[in-house]
Amino acid sequence: MEGLLATIYAAFARYLAWGLALCLALASSPPSEAATALANAKSTFIESLLARMTVEEKAGQLLMRFAEAEPPPQIVLDAVAAGNVGSVFAHPAATPAQLRTLQQHAVKHSRLGIPLFFAGDVVHGRRTIFPIGLGLASSWDLDAISVSARVAAREATGDGLDMTFAPMVDISRDPRWGRISEGFGEDTYLVSRIAATVVRGFQGELGARDSLMACVKHFAAYGAVEGGRDYNSTDVSPLRLYQDYLPPYLAAINAGAGAIMTALTSLNGVPATANGWLLRSVLRQQWQFSGLVISDHSAIEELIVHGVAQDGAQAAQRALVAGTDVSMNDRYYLQTLPGLIEQGQIEVELLDDAVRRVLAVKYDMGLFESPFRRLSGSHGAAFSNAGLALYRAEARHVARRTLVLLKNERATLPLKRQGTIALIGPLADNSRDILGSWPANGQPSQAVSLYQGLRTALGDHAQLLYALGANIHDNPPAFDLLADNQVVLDPRPPSALLAEALAIARQADVVIAALGEPRGMSHEGASKTTLDLPQQQRELLRALKMTGKPLVLVLMNGRPLSIVEESQWADAVLETWFSGSEGGNAIADVLLGDYNPSGKLPISFPRTVGQLPVHYNTLNTGRPFIKERPSKYKSRYFDLDPTPLYPFGYGLSYTTFSLSSLRLSTHQLPPGQSLQASITVKNQGSRSGETVVQLYLRDRVASVSRPIKELKGFRKVLLAPGESRRITFTVDQTALGFYNQDLQWITEPGEFDVMIGLDSQHLEHARFELLEASR
């Protein structure tokens, strides 16, 4: 064994040295030649290793095995040493020491010494927790989002991980789906920009010690589950799939994502994990993706339950043939692939291809060169969170940019640092839920609750009173069935909690109600049939309204809620999502005016669940609803305004902005060229602030119906009081293109509307014509 190991590493060292020498020699040559030489070195190394592997060892490389947060049991170590494990999905609390033991077994005791790679769910932070996906998207600030991803990568790689199962870029327009919290909202363009930013942020320079390989998920269209019910089927027309759902995955891949995860769901009748059209035609052929395809957890076994395989062998065969390389914690690849190959039911080339890709990501992660590179503790930290310097400044900077001011009547906010403030609600002094779903290794004890944030910010200037007011949810049996269900309920009856809250509200000059959802309610397996606040919390808010005190509603939640009445009861409403480790400080910054809110919704807020789906970029239909001219035979609900309560792109500031003088550089655009659309944005108030200028386009007449507006650009700008700035967007041919009925990406000549606004509803208009190509 040692002999073989030595041979392999000597070969590797030779290839590496050769590659480096070539790189230097070719430094002045066109980059493609140097890249080709390096790619050749990599492929030679992989082929030489593959040639030495048995079929069993190859099948072993395709297994990603789960590791609990405990010293690895002998049975797992034996499996690693036997070459039966290719990678490890590590429990969030698994320590680098535990992972190191596993790696030692792989490198020192397995026949070929092939290192493992370690993966985990680092979705919005590892130890320093940043706002959830919907929050990050609300910042419309790619620099801030990039900071959050880079910090997450540093911490995760410092804890021994090589790969994260993120970003989650599933477009979703159904807030009943609990996982909507993890994504970046309803819009394809915004989600695509964020997807690319997050991938680059995680990966940095691929192979570097602090590079965390991104496994983008869940391919494809997991966010379109019918009825918003998790794991339910998805059925999406090809046009909508290409136009709306697929681009964010492609953006992540184009940004260099090393891996992609299949969805647990079926797409148009075929489970994603066995969907050859999706994984081979789209992903490999059309998109030329050469990275790794990983099944979601036990998705291969579930092919039997889906009813597309009768046993484990058939499930494994279907998944591999379709293009799933790695099975996540799922026994059938290991158990059945060697036999299937021996019986000639699967070509060994198919297995080899999948193994090549596993070896390639390990190569790209730098693991052949140095298998312990992320397990050495050289990132300067012992594993325990205690006493670690979190990236608090970064977390606060990012979090406050993600808060969205939905309402602010009579300038209720910002609050003055004086008098008595009553802070009430189950999320008011809650440092657990503020971390959101998928908190990785974030510790509630290290998160700042709103109470703590306000307490610090107010100092001795104002009195801060606190009461729970209501329990966070009122359906314990249903809650117990959630994946993340640890909440502590106050045993007192609701009337006692309410009485205590009202007593302090009456003493206060202003009341802040911190209401919303426990984090487990916006999570995997946490779909709901209503978007209402839990009943006890609604009653609390109504009672607080009756006190007549100025009332600020601070929402913490992982999905758009239906808050028609709540938004009327409250004088001000601040959507804070789940804002992470520094959430309490960030929210206090906004409530007290130390930071002027600048967030904008990345998703529409419906008035009620019955309106779903509600999104801004709909098709016009033949009978569009026109609010100003109601009539019978229109696409509408007869019992409710079909528009959202708060639209996509919406969010207020403590100052006001105006837009004027929208101009286009041309009104006749020759094909293949671009034009400039410019507008003046002015801060009309007496406080500096940021806003997001949003560019939307509409193709007025095309061979397929095109949306009434589509986001095609945005710019977040900071303006001093009274300051104006001219903002210019370039509208290029990419912004004008779309998929036609044959799923070809084309542009068609004709008229386009250009719309620019500070949300998706209030827009300045201009128009140009894309000219025909001259013959």
Q: How far is the CB of 272 from ligand NOJ (least distance, A)?
A: 11
Q: How far is the CB of 217 from ligand NOJ (least distance, A)?
A: 6
Decide whether 121 or 710 has the Cβ nearer to ligand NOJ: 121
Decide whether 123 or 508 has the Cβ nearer to ligand NOJ: 123
Among 65, 105, 173, 297, binds ligand NOJ (CB under 6 A): 297
Q: How far is the CB of 328 from ligand NOJ (least distance, A)?
A: 7
Residues 524-543 that bind ligand NOJ (CB under 6 A): 524
Which element (helix H / strand E) includes 754?
A: strand 750-757
Q: How far is the CB of 319 from ligand NOJ (least distance, A)?
A: 16
Residue 295, both tokens: 């099944």
Could you tell me if 404 and 553 are in contact, meaning their C-beta atoms sit under 8 angstroms apart? no
Q: How far is the CB of 75 from ligand NOJ (least distance, A)?
A: 22
Residue nearest to ligand NOJ (CB): 165
Strands 404-408 and 572-575: antiparallel
Q: Does the bond joining 220 to the residue before it have cis omega, within 30 degrees of 0?
A: yes
3-class SS of residue 234 = strand
- Is residue 436 packed enough to be buried (19+ CB in 10 Å), middle (13-18) or exposed (0-12)? buried
Residues in Cβ contact with 61 at an 8 Å cutoff, skipping those fewer than 6 apart: 53, 86, 114, 355, 358, 359
Q: How far is the CB of 379 from ligand NOJ (least distance, A)?
A: 23
Q: How far is the CB of 165 from ligand NOJ (least distance, A)?
A: 3
Decide whether 439 or 649 has the Cβ nearer to ligand NOJ: 439
Write down the catalytic residue from 121, 159, 210, 296. 296
- Over the window 154 to 173, marking each residue x when it contacts ligand NOJ by CB under 6 A and - when it does not, the resulting string is -----------x--------
Residue 701 phi/psi, 5° resolution? -135, 125
64-90 core/surface letters (b: 16 or more CB in 10 A; e: else): bbebeeeebeeebbebbbebbbbbbbb
3-state SS, 265-323, equals: CEECCEEHHHCHHHHHHHHHHHCCCCCEEECCCCCCCHHHHHCCCCCHHHHHHHHHHHC
DSSP state letter for 652: B
Q: How far is the CB of 264 from ligand NOJ (least distance, A)?
A: 6
Active-site residue 296, yes or no? Answer: yes
Decide whether 296 or 330 has the Cβ nearer to ligand NOJ: 296
Strands 763-770 and 750-757: antiparallel
52 CA to centre of own chain:
40
Q: For residues 211 and 379, what is the distance between their CA atoms, to the nearest angstrom?
A: 12
Among 53, 105, 121, 266, binds ligand NOJ (CB under 6 A): 121
Residues 177-236 that bind ligand NOJ (CB under 6 A): 217
Residues 454-483 that bind ligand NOJ (CB under 6 A): none
Residues 370-389 that bind ligand NOJ (CB under 6 A): none
Decide whether 177 or 657 has the Cβ nearer to ligand NOJ: 177
Reference 45, options 21, 85, 14, 67; nearest CA is: 14
Residues 256-295 that bind ligand NOJ (CB under 6 A): 264
Strand order, beta sheet including 420-424: 404-408, 572-575, 551-556, 510-516, 420-424, 463-467
- Over the window 488 to 527, marking each residue x when it contacts ligand NOJ by CB under 6 A and - when it does not, the resulting string is ------------------------------------x---
Q: How far is the CB of 170 from ligand NOJ (least distance, A)?
A: 10
Decide whether 22 or 328 has the Cβ nearer to ligand NOJ: 328
Residue 228, both tokens: 């918003």
Assess 484 for contact with ligand NOJ (CB under 6 A). no
Decide whether 217 or 407 has the Cβ nearer to ligand NOJ: 217
Residue 100 phi/psi, 5° resolution? -65, -40
Q: For residues 259 and 254, what is the distance between their CA atoms, to the nearest angstrom?
A: 12
Could you tell me if 606 and 564 are in contact, meaning their C-beta atoms sit under 8 angstroms apart? no
Could you tell me if 198 and 142 are in contact, meaning their C-beta atoms sit under 8 angstroms apart? no
Among 159, 162, 296, 394, binds ligand NOJ (CB under 6 A): 296
Could you tell me if 317 and 350 are in contact, meaning their C-beta atoms sit under 8 angstroms apart? no
Decide whether 58 or 217 has the Cβ nearer to ligand NOJ: 217
Decide whether 155 or 710 has the Cβ nearer to ligand NOJ: 155
Query: Judged by CB under 6 A, how many residues of this single chain contact ligand NOJ?
Result: 7
Catalytic residue list: 296
Where does this chain bind ligand NOJ (CB under 6 A)? Answer: 121, 165, 217, 264, 296-297, 524
